[in-house]
Structure 1
Amino acid sequence: ATGRTMLEGWGMSETCAIGTKNPVNNPAFSGSIGLPLPGIDIAIKDEAGQSLPLGESGEICIRGPNVTPGYYNQPEENAQAFTADGFLRTGDIGSMDAQGYTRIIDRKKDMILVSGFNV
């Protein structure tokens, strides 16, 4: 026990390590990664980059001023990493409920072990 409220959140290096967070005024464990932070959009999309209805599982995609504009000198990688409407494909599989809370369900790709770390 830390003696402090723990808040779930989510981010990745391509998003400056921020993206979502559970509200501070709700200290109960929710199992979700929370709501998008101000100015950030989260969408659940299919393989074609189309947004899915609430409650359906798909790839968690993110768009906002915190998201990298692309990978340096890698146009092919950028074409695969971003949807036509500018969302970064995260590789995380999840769903979003009617209140906008997102849950991670799985990974699109398996992790690999590099120097003792899961990547």
Structure 2
Amino acid sequence: MSALTAAEGDFYQTIEPQLAAAATEADNVAALGEQRSRNLFAIRRAEAILEDRLVAIDRATRPGRVPTRFAVAIDRYRQGADLLRMAMSEARSAFAGLDWERLDAAVARSRQGADALVVASDELHRAARASPT
């Protein structure tokens, strides 16, 4: 890593493990959908864990708390989190209505969100290694 300011270092040390864990959990949620799991307990549990991780990141990345060097990564995180939340809501509604086409669309959106969190994590790492802004 290049020289980070104290604030940047603290931010990175807080967000990096949370974002990595959220990306892993998002992949799990997306995989359950792709596997067409009907185990509602496992799905709801995975979604609850993911939502808890997203809320923790949201709190730590409120406006004014994100160092400039990490802004792109956090913007990507927010895009992914929005997609994931939308997908989880759509999937619950589609599953309840047995609307398989809508469920397929929600699963695809979930994968897009999970992939966006992986990209956000990669961008966070690159930003930490980059020259100071």
Do they fold alike, i.e. is TM over 0.5? no
Q: Structure 1 or 2: larger helix share?
A: 2
TM range (shorter): under 0.3
Q: Structure 1 or 2: larger strand share?
A: 1
Per the normalisation by structure 2, the TM-score is: 0.23
Per the normalisation by structure 1, the TM-score is: 0.25
Kindly indicate whether structure 1 or structure 2 has the higher relative contact order, using CA contacts under 8 Å at least 6 residues apart.
2
